Amino acid sequence: MSAKHALFVAFILLSCSLPFGVIDRALSDYFPLETGNYWNYVTQDGDTISARIEGDTVILGDTAFIYTFGSDLYYFFKADNGIDRYYYFVTYRGGDKVVLERRIGPYLSLPLIDGYTRTDSFSNAVVVVNDTFQYFHTTDLGISLVGDLSVNDRVFHEVYSAEITDSRCVDSPLGTSISERHEVLYLAPD
């Protein structure tokens, strides 16, 4: 058997061992980061919120895509294993800004695989004039297959939900502050 045939057989065996459709999903764009892309969402209250890729910029030496969702602003990055996000968090002490987090970290893992979970943790300690600020940030991701989803007379196939929980805790001389944000994304291929 030639090396080319052996490689082809190995590819088929490897492909057969992957969950059905992984290769198709890897080639599909479930989170397209291209300037000008936009989406309009209708909330349960009937309001409309728009999301848009406004352009790009450079953050910490990498190209970031500027993403607006309503009045919120986010920065996303294309990564080898999915989508990363710019995380920036500050607190204040006596009017001075204390940067507790400034980094690029994982946001969404691709390709989407039913049942996949991941936790990303970050911690930092900053001392300002003998006061210590302890910071903890955890991002949990869970992926679930939804299948077909109908929205306003349109049917989307191969839809996945991505549940993301973002938890932050700051221990400071003034006490402990805890915040949590939970979002669910419904993602369909391009």
* Count of domains forming the chain: 1
* Pair type for strands 38-42 and 154-172: unpaired
Residue 93 lies in a domain: yes
Residue among 138, 126, 128 nearest 96 (CA): 128
Residue 7 has pLDDT above 80, yes or no: no
**Residue 170 within any structural domain of the chain:** yes
pLDDT in tens, 59-108: 999 999 999 988 999 999 999 889 999 999 999 888 889 999 999 999 99
Cβ-proximal residues to 35 (8 Å cutoff; 6+ apart), any chain: 53, 54, 55, 56, 65
Residue 37, in any domain of the structure? no
With a cut of 80, say whether residue 16 has pLDDT above it.
no
What is the DSSP pairing of strand 96-109 with strand 117-128?
A: unpaired
Question: Looking at the domain assignment, is residue 180 inside a domain?
Answer: yes
The answer to the question of residue 137 being in a domain is yes
Contact yes or no for 100/124 (Cβ under 8 A): yes
Q: Rounded distance, CA 31 to CA 154, Å?
A: 19
9 pLDDT more than 90: no
pTM: 0.80
Q: Specify if 56 maps to a domain.
A: no
Tokens standing for residue 140: 């949990």
Q: What is the mean pLDDT of the chain?
A: 84
CA 124 to chain centre: 21
Tokens of 149: 């989803």
User: How far apart are alpha carbons 113 and 72 in whole angstroms?
Assistant: 28
Per-residue pLDDT of 126-168, as tens digits, reads 998 889 999 999 999 999 999 998 887 889 899 999 999 999 9
Residue 25 lies in a domain: yes
Residue 49 to residues 43, 123, 154, 160, Cα–Cα distance (Å): 7, 33, 19, 21
CB atoms within 10 A of CB 143: 21
On whether residue 70 sits in a domain, the answer given is no
Domain residues for 152? 3-30+80-187
> How many whole angstroms from its chain centre is CA 148?
22
pLDDT value, residue 94: 84
pLDDT of residue 189: 83
- Cβ–Cβ contacts within 10 Å for residue 89, how many? 17
Contact 72, 41 (CB under 8 A): no
The span from the CA of 79 to the CA of 108, in Å, is 10
